[in-house]
């Protein structure tokens, strides 16, 4: 994930790159939802089920402590892609603690009593001292918020606003951070895996799940079992407060330093009235620095208990041997005492259209979102078909807005079925000589056709054929299968990988008209209109983006921002080698984005080495 301006990315190079590319994976798993992060430029993965002729043979077991285990045996390549899903995301948070699920993604790489430190006893003593000092700092922070409410200060983050006692406590705390660094072994968790021949260790957090994954040689399955169970059984959340600063830096890079990141965040908050999807996965800026380690410990105990976790293995192993091994290692983790609470807040019906206007340093753009349905809902399948009818170079939006009326330079569509609710999103960039109103009218014209006219049988079948072909390609390797299982299990039911395909194939032209009439109503939508900020000049597209699809360009922009913030040439070189090695195995449609990343990383390395 991107990292914002306090500690630079280079301060925790591997952890931050892990976040960046993990977020890339997660976003693509949601079909590259525009402007909401960049979760799969590296791997050819996606969502949806496979047709009945292409079933994934999953073996499901439950360990003695309630932890679920999914296994797919695949011989031929002596490797295993392993991962696990914690059924918790930002939607499980509450006001005042937003961003804590994502913070935990960072903390789970900090190690154990035996991994990540030279002296576990001294490490623990320093953390205890830090906690005592943080309690005093929190008292000062409370006074500062009271002063803000009175109007005595205007910026509680400014050093000038803090009392002398507050600044003294922070100085003492910094000394403890420096002392802890003397006993830390940075990135040891990653180094143990890499030395054993493992690759691709990463993680991501979304609104509905947190997932961790890696690929190991087939003869290192027991190492994977030990490493992953150890960080669940005996995690040490060292550098907790320093890592909060890293997350805050990430927020600055991903949200506040991009042309429309901060506006998109506000638009999302306006779109959802009651639902926890209202707040960003990375958290509100006032919540991130306020999260305490005590709150984090309670969050971990509630949501990382065995009954709320699913292990997934795909590759060259035998299930008969893997089950007792999983019981031996993961079965050590005590069963939780109470089930995690379900998200019960439902989104209220929208009674009127919402509109959001903003000036940004970007070309004029229009985004329209409609409330739809969540994962597994019967209407999610025809809505997926609607997405494909509208999406891509052969889709109706491109033909109508880019090639036809020529009011737009790029356009995309996305049905985003999350765990608890869903949204349909259309984005379009305005072409010079036209207005945002022209684009809105052109979008509405294409939608009206779907509402009133039956989709021709040939066009509908083409979409279904594309679905079937895409699902077939995802069966080509361990990692794509792993991601399908992670995503569907994280949203609530891994069986969707084997059942959704048939449901897509069963969608009729009348189903398309029905969902268009039901969900694409004016009172059910929110519209964001971005115009160019006065004096910002005309925006020109990065020539390196030539050849990227409209859906890939927003992802590319965020990747560029992340890479430009990197200051560690060695870390960049390591990531470059991984991306280049994976290039040949990637779906050809994804290769332009991967090549774009290679060019940007190479250029950044050159810049850094000239200094």
pLDDT digits (tens, 9 = 90+) for 201-231: 999 999 999 999 999 999 999 999 999 999 9
- The band of 592, judged by pLDDT with boundaries at 50, 70 and 90, is confident
Do residues 42 and 582 touch, judged by C-beta distance below 8 A?
yes
- The band of 428, judged by pLDDT with boundaries at 50, 70 and 90, is very high
Q: For residue 355, how far is the Cα from the chain centroid?
A: 26
Rg (the chain; Cα; Å):
24
Residue 272, CA atoms < 13 Å, CB-side half-sphere: 22
Do residues 396 and 474 touch, judged by C-beta distance below 8 A?
no
Q: Which two tokens stand for residue 264?
A: 């998109």
DSSP code, position 230:
H
Do residues 9 and 566 touch, judged by C-beta distance below 8 A?
yes
Q: Which two tokens stand for residue 575?
A: 């990531």
Summarised one tens digit per residue, pLDDT across range 120-140 is 999 999 999 999 999 999 999
Tell me, what's the pLDDT at 608? 72
Mean pLDDT of 424-438: 96
Res 364 pLDDT > 90: yes
Tell me, what's the pLDDT at 548? 77
Tell me, what's the pLDDT at 473? 77
Do residues 55 and 63 touch, judged by C-beta distance below 8 A?
no
Tell me, what's the pLDDT at 535? 66
Question: How far is 527 from 368, CA to CA, in rounded Å?
Answer: 5
DSSP code, position 528:
E
50-64, 269-283, 372-386 — which is least confidently predicted? Answer: 50-64
The percentage of residues in the chain with a pLDDT greater than 70, rounded to a whole number, is: 86
Res 456 pLDDT > 70: yes
Report the candidate in 246, 113, 230 with the shortest Cα–Cα distance to residue 177: 246
Tell me, what's the pLDDT at 273? 96
Tell me, what's the pLDDT at 586? 61
Q: Which two tokens stand for residue 399?
A: 């033909």
Distances in whole angstroms, Cα of residue 9 to Cα of each of 88, 253, 262: 26, 10, 20
Mean pLDDT of 576-590: 67
Res 331 pLDDT > 80: yes
Strands 309-315 and 68-73: parallel
Do residues 495 and 486 touch, judged by C-beta distance below 8 A?
no
Question: How far is 578 from 585, CA to CA, in rounded Å?
Answer: 12
Summarised one tens digit per residue, pLDDT across range 394-408 is 999 999 999 999 999
179-193, 219-233, 313-327 — which is least confidently predicted? Answer: 179-193
Question: How far is 517 from 226, CA to CA, in rounded Å?
Answer: 53
Strands 365-371 and 354-360: unpaired
Report the candidate in 25, 19, 24 with the shortest Cα–Cα distance to residue 1: 19
Residue labelled with tokens 């939608």: 447
Question: How far is 578 from 540, CA to CA, in rounded Å?
Answer: 31
10 beta partners: none
> Average per-residue pLDDT in the chain?
86
**pTM greater than 0.85:** no
- Cβ neighbour number for residue 353 with a 10 Å cutoff: 13
Tell me, what's the pLDDT at 31? 42
Strands 408-417 and 210-217: unpaired
Tell me, what's the pLDDT at 251? 85
Q: For residue 340, how far is the Cα from the chain centroid?
A: 22
Report the candidate in 202, 199, 205 with the shortest Cα–Cα distance to residue 30: 205
> Could you write out the DSSP letters of every residue in 530-573?
EEEPTTS------GGGTT--TTHHHHHHHHHHHHHT---HHHHH
Res 593 pLDDT > 90: no
- The band of 498, judged by pLDDT with boundaries at 50, 70 and 90, is very high
Residue labelled with tokens 């047709």: 51
Torsion of CA 275, 281, 282, 285, to 10 degrees: -10
Residue 350, CA atoms < 13 Å, CB-side half-sphere: 23
Tell me, what's the pLDDT at 591? 75
Question: How far is 487 from 470, CA to CA, in rounded Å?
Answer: 16
**More confident position, 611 or 463:** 463
Tell me, what's the pLDDT at 39? 32
Tell me, what's the pLDDT at 550? 67
What number of H helices and E strands is found in the chain? 20, 11
DSSP code, position 10:
G
Q: For residue 527, how far is the Cα from the chain centroid?
A: 24
Question: How far is 207 from 23, CA to CA, in rounded Å?
Answer: 12
């Amino acid at each position: 994930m991107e990292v914002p301006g306090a500690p630079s990315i280079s301060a925790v190079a591997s952890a931050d790159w892990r976040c960046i590319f993990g977020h890339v994976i997660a976003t693509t798993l949601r079909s590259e939802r525009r402007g909401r992060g960049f979760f799969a430029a590296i791997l050819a993965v996606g969502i949806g089920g496979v047709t009945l002729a292409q079933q994934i043979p999953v073996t499901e077991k439950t360990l003695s402590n309630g932890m679920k285990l999914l296994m797919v045996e695949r011989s031929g390549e002596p490797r295993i892609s392993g991962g696990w899903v914690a059924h918790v995301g930002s939607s499980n948070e509450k006001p005042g603690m937003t961003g804590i699920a994502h913070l935990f993604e960072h903390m789970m790489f900090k190690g154990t009593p035996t991994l990540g430190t030279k002296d576990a006893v001294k490490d623990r003593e320093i953390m205890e001292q830090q906690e005592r000092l943080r309690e005093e700092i929190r008292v000062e922070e409370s006074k500062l918020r009271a002063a803000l409410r009175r109007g005595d200060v205007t910026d509680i983050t400014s050093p000038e606003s803090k009392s002398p006692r507050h600044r003294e406590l922070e100085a003492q705390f910094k000394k403890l951070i420096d002392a802890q660094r003397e006993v830390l072994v940075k990135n040891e968790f990653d180094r143990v895996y890499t030395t054993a021949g493992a690759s691709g260790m990463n993680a991501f957090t979304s609104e509905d799940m947190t997932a961790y994954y890696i690929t190991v040689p087939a003869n290192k399955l027991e190492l994977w079992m030990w490493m992953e169970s150890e960080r669940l059984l005996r995690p040490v959340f060292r550098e907790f407060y320093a890592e909060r600063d890293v997350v805050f830096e990430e927020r600055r890079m991903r949200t506040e330093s991009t042309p429309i990141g901060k506006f998109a965040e506000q638009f999302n908050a306006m779109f959802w009235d009651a639902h926890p999807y209202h707040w960003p996965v990375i958290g509100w800026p006032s919540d991130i620095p306020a999260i305490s380690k005590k709150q984090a410990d309670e969050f971990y105990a509630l949501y990382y208990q065995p009954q709320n976790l699913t292990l997934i293995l795909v590759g060259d192993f035998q299930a008969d041997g893997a089950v007792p091994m999983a019981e031996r290692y993961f079965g050590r983790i005590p069963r939780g005492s109470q089930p995690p609470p379900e998200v019960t807040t439902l989104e209220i019906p929208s009674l009127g259209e919402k509109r959001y206007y903003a000036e940004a340093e970007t070309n004029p753009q229009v985004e329209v979102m409609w409330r739809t349905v969540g994962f597994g809902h019967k209407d999610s399948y025809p809505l997926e078909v609607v997405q494909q009818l509208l999406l891509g170079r052969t889709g109706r939006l491109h033909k109508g807005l880019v090639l036809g009326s020529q009011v737009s330079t790029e356009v995309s569509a996305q049905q985003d079925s999350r765990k608890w609710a869903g949204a349909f999103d259309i984005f379009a960039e305005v072409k010079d000589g036209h207005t945002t109103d022209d684009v809105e009218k052109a979008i509405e014209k294409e939608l009206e056709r779907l509402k009133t006219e039956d989709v021709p049988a040939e066009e509908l079948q083409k979409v279904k054929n594309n679905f079937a072909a895409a699902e077939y390609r995802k069966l080509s390797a361990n990692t794509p299968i792993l991601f399908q299982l992670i995503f569907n299990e994280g949203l609530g039911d891994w069986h969707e990988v084997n059942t959704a395909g048939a449901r897509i194939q069963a969608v009729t032209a009348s189903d398309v008209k029905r969902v268009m009439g039901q969900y694409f109503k004016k009172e059910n939508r929110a519209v964001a209109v971005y115009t160019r900020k006065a004096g910002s000049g005309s925006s020109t597209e990065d020539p390196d983006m030539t050849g990227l699809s409209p859906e890939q360009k927003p992802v590319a922009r965020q990747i560029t921002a992340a890479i430009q913030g990197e200051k560690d040439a060695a870390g960049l070189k390591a990531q470059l080698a991984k991306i280049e090695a994976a290039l040949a195995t990637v779906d050809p449609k994804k290769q332009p984005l991967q090549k774009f990343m290679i060019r940007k990383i190479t250029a950044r390395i050159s810049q850094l080495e000239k200094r």
